[in-house]
Chains A and B, each alone.
Chain A
Amino acid sequence: MIEEQSIVKVAMADLNVAGPNGILRTTGLGSCVGLTLYDPVTKIGGMAHVMLPSSAIAREGQLNLAKYADTALPILLNKMRNLGASPARMVAKMAGGAQMFAFAGSGDTMRIGPRNVESCKAGLEQMGITLIAEDTGGNYGRTVELDCATGKFTIRSVQKGIKEL
C-alpha cells in the first residue's frame, strides 16, 4: 500500500522531523537558513528554520533552541536519532542566508544571512556531517522542501524559479 505523503510545516525559528512519507517544508526564508539533515537508509529527515547564528547573543529568558544555528543542530540530530536515524549516515543540505537589502555602511545585523550560513557550516563540521548541497546567499527569498522519500531538496524563489538539489 502506498501511503499518501504529508506536508510537515516548519515555522520560523522552529524545527521538525519526518519519516519516509513526510515532506518537510518551510516558507519565506530570507536571511534565515533552512537546514536539513537526512538519513538515506531509514529515510528520516529533519529541518530547522534557523534565524540567528549563535545562542550567545540571546537575551531571552526561556531559550528557544530551534532559533539558533548552534543549538538547533544537536536537537535536530537527537530527534532524528529517536526516530531511528543514524547520525553516521546523515547528510546535510541547506538553503537561505540571503542578504535581502543591500546597504552602504551595513552593520552586523545586516550581514545576518551570511553569518547564519557560516554558523550552520561550522556546526555541521563539528558533528562530522557532510554538507552535500547548498543554495545560499544572494538577495532573494526562498521556500524549501525536503522530500523524505527521496531526499530531494527543492528550492523555490520568485526570482530564480524552481531548483532541485
Chain B
Amino acid sequence: MELFKHSKEIKMDVLKEVGNIGAGNAATALSRLLNKPIDMAVPQVQLLPFEQIAESVGGSEQLVLAVFLRVEGSAPGNLFFIMSPEAGKNLLQNLAGIEVSEEEQFSEMEQSALCEIGNILSGSYLSSLADFTNLSMTPTVPALAMDMAGAILSYGLIQFGEMGDDALLINTTFLEGQNEVEGQFFLIPDPQSFAQIFEALGVPLEHD
C-alpha cells in the first residue's frame, strides 16, 4: 500500500497499539463477564494476500464461529470476532451457565447469547479505540455465522478488493487460562481509514 512506503515501522507499531488497546479492553470485559483472568497475545499487524488471511484461523475451509460487525463513522472498517465452535460452547457454559447441547449445531438461544457476547466484546474494542483516536466509530448490529473461515473473512475484504489483492489486518488472540476459551479479533479497516487513524494519532503522513 502506498501509505506504508514511508516510516513503515512506526505505522505498523501504531496499528499494533490500536489492536492492543482494543483487544485489551475487550479482554478485560470478557474477564469481568467470566470472572476469570484472560491472557492476550501481542497483536499482529500484517499486510496479507487475500488467500492467506484465513490461514491464521486454520485455513479457508476451517469451520469457525464468527461475530461480524461493520464499523461506521470517520474510520470505517470490518470487525470480526472469531472462535472455534468448541470455544463457543465453552464460553456459553462458563459464562451464561447454559447447559450446552452436545451436538455440533447451536440452538437459537445459544446463537443469540453468542451474538450478544460478541457484541459486548466488539463494543468495548471499538469504544476504547474511539476514545484513543478521538474518531467516531459506531458498530452496526452484529451478525453471527458458523461456516468456513474463507467464506466468512472474504466478506471483510470487499473494500480492499477494489484497491488490490492484499488486505491489512490487525489480529489479536486472547485465551483463558486452560485454553478453554480462545478467540481472535480481526480488525480490517477500510483502505481509506488508515490515513484517518494515523492523522488522529499524530503520525506524519508523507506524500511524494
Contact = CB atoms under 8 A, between A and B. Distances in A.
Interface of A: 11-14, 27-32, 51-52, 57-60, 64, 67, 98, 100-105, 109, 112, 139-143, 157-159
Interface string B61-93: 101000010100000000000000000000000
B204 interface: no
Nearest to A105: B140
Given A52-B158, A101-B143, A29 B51 contact: no
Given A13-B165, A57-B162, A109-B159, A30 B143 contact: no
Contacts of A159: 147
A142 B148 CA distance: 8
B150 A100 contact: no
The 3 closest A-B pairs by CB, nearest first: A28-B150, A141-B151, A30-B151
B148 A158 contact: yes
A143 B61 contact: yes
A79 B164 CA distance: 23
A27 to B, nearest CB: 4
| Most central of A11, A59, A60, A141 by chain B CB within 10 Å | A141
Given A28-B154, A52-B158, A141-B151, A11 B68 contact: no
B148 A28 contact: yes
Contacts of B154: 12, 28-32, 51
Contact of B165 (A67, A105, A143): A67
Contact of B164 (A60, A101, A105, A141): A60
A139 B159 CA distance: 20
B161 A100 contact: no
B141 A104 contact: yes
B152 A141 contact: yes
Interface in B138-194: 140-141, 143, 145-152, 154-155, 157-159, 161-165
B54 interface: yes
B162 A158 contact: no
A4 B139 CA distance: 51
11 contacts: A27-B148, A28-B61, A29-B154, A31-B155, A51-B157, A52-B161, A52-B162, A100-B145, A141-B147, A141-B148, A159-B147
A141 B65 CA distance: 13
B158 A100 contact: no
A102 B59 CA distance: 24
B155 A58 contact: no
Contacts of A52: 158, 161-162
B50 interface: yes
A143 B157 CA distance: 18
Contacts of A27: 59-61, 148, 150
Nearest to B140: A103
Contacts of B163: 59-60
B88 to A, nearest CB: 14
A102 to B, nearest CB: 6
B161 A30 contact: no
A104 B70 CA distance: 12
A63 B63 CA distance: 32
B60 A13 contact: no
Contacts of B146: 158
Contacts of B155: 30-31, 100-101
A129 to B, nearest CB: 25
A31 B148 CA distance: 12
A29 B154 CA distance: 8
A143 B193 CA distance: 32
